[in-house]
Structure 1
C-alpha cells in the first residue's frame, strides 16, 4: 500500500464524505460541513445545501463549559491533588491544572534523555481507570477487516497474545497539542480557550510493544481499509451537557502502518495506570491526542471516519485559518524550553551553565541559539544529543552575567525540515501549536 501525504489524505476523505462514503462517529452534520469549508470544496455541494458558519472562526469561543477551570493559585497547589490521577504529584515536580498534571520543566534538569515516569506529565479528559492486565482485551473490528465487519464478530486479543508478537522499542515524545498555550495570553496578549499549559505538557519515553501494523495485518486487513480508530477505556467525556463518548481519534491507514505502537512498557517497566496501562497507542511525532491511552477497541474502516476529536477539537480556528477551521492536527510543532524556574536568580560575575531542550514533530533539531539579554544578541548552544526523528535535543550554553537586574533568556531552535521558531505564533482560538520563542524572565543579583 502506497503511503499518501497527510494533506492529500484529508482532502481525499472529504471528497469521500461528499460522495456519501464516509461515516461520522458522534459528529453533527454541521461540523462536517465546517470541514468542507476548511478544504475549500463547498462549491461541490448540491444547490440549496445549508452551511452553518462557525461562530468561533474569528473570535474566542464563548461556551465556558468547554473551558477548564483555571488552575489553583501557586500557594494552594501544594495541598491539592488532581482529580482522578493516581500517582503522587509533589509540587516540586508538577503543577496541577484541573484534571491534568503539568511537569515543571526545571524538574527535568539532570533527569537524563528519557523522562522518568514519576515526572511524566498527565493529560486526562476524565479520570485514570485502574484496569486489570489479566482481564484486559483488545477488540478489532470494522469494514476494513476480513470477517470482522461489526462488533459482534470482533477479533479479541489479550495481553499475552500481544506479547507473542514481535516486540519493538521506540523512543519518542508525547506532547499535548496545547503545550505552551498560556503564552498566547501572557506573551502575545491573546485570549484562548483550554488548559493553561506552559511548556511541561510533554514527555520523552522509551516505549516497547507490538507494531500496530503487525496486529492489523494478522487481523485480516482489507485493501479497502482507509481509517483506523482506536478508542480508550476511560470514562465517557461530557462537556457542555453533551456526552461525546469515549476518547477516540482516527488515524490514516498510512500512518497506522508506519511507526505506531501498541505499547505495554514505558522506560523498561510495565505501563502505569496514569500513562495508559495495560496498553496504549503511541503515535510518534503526532499530537498527543492521537496516542490513545487505555486502548480497548480499534475500528478499521473502509470509510473515512470522524470523531469530535478531529472536528470540534484539535483543528485550528481563527482569522488566519480557513473559514470553518483547518485540517485535523497531525504533526507537532517546534519548541524550546529552559530547565530553569521562572524568575530564577543568578549571582553576577560567576559563570553559570544554562540547560534546556528543544524538539520538533517535523524532524530532528539541528541548531539552538540562546540570548541572555532579551534577544539583543544570540549565541549558538552546544547540542548534547544527535538530531533524531521523534526525539528532543538537550543543549547547554555558558553565561557569565556582569550587570545586575532583570533580564530575559530566550532559546530559538531550527530543525532538519527547515523550520525555525518565529518571534510570534499565529493565533488560533483554542490555543494549539504555540511555537514562538518563549521569553524566560530571570534576575541577576
Structure 2
C-alpha cells in the first residue's frame, strides 16, 4: 500500500506506518456504487455517486441503533479493505514529549481501557437537497435528503488515553487525524488523504477511537479497523480508517477546514465562517416522500428527532401544512448525542395532496425554524421539512 501523503517538511512525519495489506473495495453483488463493500439494496439505500444514503423510511422497523447494513456510507474515494494485523496508528508532531513518532498496533489499542458510547454520526450536508427543493436556493455537493445519519453503539479507547500514552505535551493545542483511504483528487488537484483538525479540548473530552460498532468489529465501509467517533460534531470529524494523528502546539488546518466544511454565502462573513463543528437539530417522518395514504382510515405515523445541542424536549407535528400543531408521542428517553422515536395518529378525510410537518425543540431551547440559513455548500440544513403525501 502506498505511504500516506507527505507531511510538513519541517519536523513532520516523513511517512506514517501503513497497513501491510490493503486493496481497493470490490463492487458488492447487486450494488451500484463503485468502491463500497456492502450490498446496497434499493429498498434500503439511494446511491449518490461514491456514497450511499440510507432511506429514512427504512428506519421504521429498526430500534434506536441503526444496523450496520442500513448505515449510510460517506466516501470521498473508495473503501479500503485493510488488514488489522498490519495496521498501525502513528502519533507524531511537536505536541508530543520527545517529538518522536509513537506507533500503536491494533492489539495495543484494544489493550487500552475501553468505553462504549451510543452516538449519532451525521454528515454535515444531511438535508442539503432541501435547500433547493424546499427553499429554491442553489447549493453544491451530494444531494442528500435526510438519510445521511445513523446511530450506533461504538466501543473503543478514549482518544485522550491514546494521546496520553503517546505523551501529549501540556502546550499542545490541536490534533489532526488522517484516514487511510486514497488521496482525494478534485479539479486535477490532489488534496491528499482526508484529514481535519480537532482542538485538544474536544479531543480530550468525549472522542473515542472505535473498533466496534453495535457489538461487532467495524465493517469495512464504516472504518475498519479503527475510526474516530466525535459525538455531536459533523461527520467529517469522525475520520474513518484512522492511520495517523498529528499533535501540534500551533493551530492546524486542511482543505476540509478551509475550502470545505465552512459556511460561505451572503449571510456569512466574506471569507467564510469559522470551520463548522457541532451539528444542528432535525426531525423527519419515516415515510417515503410522495407516499399515498388512504382517506377515512386511521394511520399511525412514525418518525425520529434529534439535536446535537441538547436532548430533545418535544416534537410537534402538523398534518395540514402548518396551520395547526399538536404534540407527538415520544417513545424514548431523550439523551445527549442520540435521537428519539416518535409517533402520531392521523385520520385524513379529504383526498388530494397534503403536507406533513414535524418540529423538534431541544432542552437548550433550540427550535427547528421555517427556513434554514443558506450557505453555498449546503451544510447544516435545520428547517422544518415539508413532507408531501397524497390522500386517496
- 1:182 aligns with 129
For the pair 1:128 / 2:79, whether they are aligned, the reply is yes
State the Cα distance separating 1:440 from its structure 2 match. Answer: 0.6
- 1:292 aligns with 239
CA offsets 1:115-159 (integer angstroms, 9 cap, x no match): 000000000000000000111110011111111x2xxx3111111
Aligned counterparts of 1:80 and 1:376: Cα–Cα separation in 2:
42
For the pair 1:234 / 2:181, whether they are aligned, the reply is yes
- 2:62 aligns with 111
- Match of 1:160, SS state, is helix
Aligned counterparts of 2:218 and 2:88: Cα–Cα separation in 1:
16
For the pair 1:321 / 2:268, whether they are aligned, the reply is yes
What pairs up with 1:15-34 in 2 under 5 angstroms? Answer: none
- 1:308 aligns with 255
The two structures have a TM-score, normalised by structure 1, of: 0.81
For the pair 1:352 / 2:299, whether they are aligned, the reply is yes
- 1:343 aligns with 290
Aligned counterparts of 1:318 and 1:136: Cα–Cα separation in 2:
41
What pairs up with 1:419-438 in 2 under 5 angstroms? Answer: 419-438=366-385
Greater CA drift, 397-406 or 113-122: 397-406
State the Cα distance separating 1:266 from its structure 2 match. Answer: 0.1
State the Cα distance separating 1:393 from its structure 2 match. Answer: 0.9
- 2:359 aligns with 412
What pairs up with 1:271-286 in 2 under 5 angstroms? Answer: 271-286=218-233
- Match of 2:277, SS state, is coil
For the pair 1:87 / 2:34, whether they are aligned, the reply is no
CA offsets 1:84-135 (integer angstroms, 9 cap, x no match): 1000000000000000000000110011000000000000000000000111
Aligned counterparts of 1:146 and 1:79: Cα–Cα separation in 2:
50
- Match of 2:202, SS state, is helix
Higher helix proportion (structure 1 or 2): 1
Aligned counterparts of 1:416 and 1:238: Cα–Cα separation in 2:
42
How many residues are paired up? 366
Higher strand proportion (structure 1 or 2): 2
RMSD between aligned residues: 1.2
Aligned 8 A contact 2:285 2:302 in 1: yes
Aligned 8 A contact 2:31 2:41 in 1: no
Aligned 8 A contact 2:218 2:225 in 1: yes
What pairs up with 1:194-233 in 2 under 5 angstroms? Answer: 194-233=141-180
- 2:22 aligns with none
- 1:140 aligns with 91
Aligned counterparts of 2:300 and 2:232: Cα–Cα separation in 1:
29
The two structures have a TM-score, normalised by structure 2, of: 0.92
> Structure 1: which 4+ aligned runs deviate by more than 3 Å?
none
State the Cα distance separating 1:79 from its structure 2 match. Answer: 7.0
CA offsets 1:42-72 (integer angstroms, 9 cap, x no match): xxxxxxxxxxxxxxxxxxxxxxxxxxxxxxx
What pairs up with 1:368-407 in 2 under 5 angstroms? Answer: 368-407=315-354
Aligned counterparts of 1:223 and 1:107: Cα–Cα separation in 2:
47
Aligned counterparts of 1:241 and 1:418: Cα–Cα separation in 2:
45
State the Cα distance separating 1:260 from its structure 2 match. Answer: 0.2
CA offsets 1:344-363 (integer angstroms, 9 cap, x no match): 11111211111000111111
CA offsets 1:365-413 (integer angstroms, 9 cap, x no match): 1110000111111110011111211101110111111111110110010
For the pair 1:101 / 2:52, whether they are aligned, the reply is yes
- Match of 2:340, SS state, is strand
User: Tell me, which stretches of 5 or more residues in structure 2 are unaligned?
Assistant: 1-6, 9-28
- Match of 2:301, SS state, is strand
For the pair 1:249 / 2:249, whether they are aligned, the reply is no
State the Cα distance separating 1:277 from its structure 2 match. Answer: 0.1
Aligned counterparts of 1:392 and 1:288: Cα–Cα separation in 2:
16
Aligned 8 A contact 2:293 2:391 in 1: yes
Aligned counterparts of 1:106 and 1:263: Cα–Cα separation in 2:
28
- Match of 2:81, SS state, is coil
State the Cα distance separating 1:80 from its structure 2 match. Answer: 5.9
Aligned 8 A contact 2:141 2:377 in 1: yes
- Match of 1:88, SS state, is coil
- 2:112 aligns with 165
Aligned counterparts of 1:199 and 1:248: Cα–Cα separation in 2:
25
CA offsets 1:392-439 (integer angstroms, 9 cap, x no match): 111011111111111011001011111100000111000001100011
- Match of 1:190, SS state, is coil
> Which structure has the higher relative contact order (CA within 8 Å, separation 6+)?
1
